Amino acid sequence: MVISKTPLRISFAGGGTDLPSFYRHHDYGAVISTSIDSYIYVTIKRHSRLFSEKYRLNYSSTEQVDEIDKIEHPIIRECLRFLDIDEKLYISTIADAPGSSGLGSSSSFCVGLLNALYKFKGQSISAGRLAEEAAHIEIDILQRPMGKQDHYAAAYGGVNYLRFNKDETVTLQHVACRTRNTEVLFGSLLSFWTGVVRPSESVLKEQDANNNKNSDILIQMRDHAAELLYLLDSNKFSIERFARIVHEGWLLKTQLASNISNSRIDKAYALALENGALGGKISGAGGGGFLNIFAHEENHERLISVLAPIGLSRYKMNIDSNGTQVNIIA
Q: Which among 10, 27, 36, 16 is positioned nearest to 249, based on CA atoms?
A: 16
Same fold, 2-175 and 180-314: no
pLDDT value, residue 204: 72
Alpha carbon distance 203, 107 (integer Å)? 16
Length of the chain: 330
Helix axes 74-82, 105-120, angle to 10 degrees: 40
3-state secondary structure of 35: strand
pLDDT value, residue 210: 74
Contact yes or no for 282/291 (Cβ under 8 A): yes
Q: Does the pLDDT of residue 330 top 70, yes or no?
A: no
Q: Does the pLDDT of residue 214 top 80, yes or no?
A: yes
pTM attached to this predicted model? 0.94
Averaged pLDDT for residues 284-303: 93
Helices (H), 163-299: 180-188, 200-210, 215-232, 239-253, 263-274
pLDDT value, residue 329: 83
Q: What is the pLDDT of residues 2-44, one digit of tens each?
A: 999 999 999 999 999 999 989 999 999 999 999 999 999 999 9
pLDDT value, residue 284: 81
pLDDT-derived band of residue 253, with 50, 70 and 90 as boundaries? Answer: very high
Q: Domain spans of the chain?
A: 2-175, 180-314
Q: What is the pLDDT of residues 172-192, one digit of tens each?
A: 999 987 789 999 999 999 999
Averaged pLDDT for residues 257-269: 90
Averaged pLDDT for residues 283-300: 92
Q: Does the pLDDT of residue 202 top 70, yes or no?
A: no
Alpha carbon distance 23, 69 (integer Å)? 33
Q: Which among 313, 89, 83 is positioned nearest to 196, based on CA atoms?
A: 313
| CATH class, 180-314 region | alpha beta
pLDDT-derived band of residue 304, with 50, 70 and 90 as boundaries? Answer: very high
Q: CATH fold of 2-175, please?
A: Ribosomal Protein S5; domain 2 (3.30.230)
Contact yes or no for 284/207 (Cβ under 8 A): no
Q: Does the pLDDT of residue 209 top 90, yes or no?
A: no
Contact yes or no for 237/278 (Cβ under 8 A): no
Phi, psi of 208 (to 5 degrees): -60, -40
Q: What is the pLDDT of residues 136-186, one digit of tens each?
A: 999 999 999 899 999 999 999 999 999 999 999 999 999 987 789 999 999
Average pLDDT taken over every residue of the chain: 93
Helices (H), the chain: 20-23, 74-82, 105-120, 127-135, 149-156, 180-188, 200-210, 215-232, 239-253, 263-274, 300-307
